[in-house]
Amino acid sequence: PKKISIYNEEMIVARCFIGFLIFSRKSLGKTFKVTLDGRMESIQEESQQFSNPNEVVPPESNEQQRLLRISLRICGTVVESLPTARCTPKCEKTVQALLCRNLNVKSATLLNATSSRRIRLQDDIVTGFHFSVSERFVPGCTLKASIVELIR
């Protein structure tokens, strides 16, 4: 008899909770959705307006930049040791300038790739947030899936 009464009490609590969810969803669903949509838009605007000055550059990007700098130094040494370099010092400066330009182009490419990955991640977060909000608060969505999710 004790196990049955505990089970019945749990069922009453679960039914009250489900009733509360249904009631709050019907009465407050639009309010929550409007509030959360506004917040989501403001977060998205802020993230687009301000770039993150403390942005973490991936270690592989730093490593590639380091290797490019080492290559530049080695190339400079090789150019200095060439017999033609003694005859034509302008050639050395041209080669080093070309290598510096290539290094700067590759460095900029790495930074752009990092930035585009960050923007893509922000877009994925906003999309996921929007999907989870509308799934939970938009009237007409299946209530059963939301209840099963909440019970888990």
pLDDT in tens, the chain (152 residues): 566 666 677 788 888 888 887 777 777 767 766 776 777 777 677 766 655 555 565 667 777 777 777 776 666 555 555 555 455 555 556 666 666 677 777 777 777 777 777 777 777 777 777 666 666 665 555 544 554 455 54
Which residue ranges make up each domain of the chain?
A: 2-151
pTM more than 0.75: no
How far is Cα 60 from Cα 112, in angstroms, rounded to an integer? 14
Cβ neighbors of 111 (< 8 A, separation 6 or more) are 57, 61
Q: Name the residue among 14, 17, 32, 1 with its Cα closest to residue 136.
A: 32
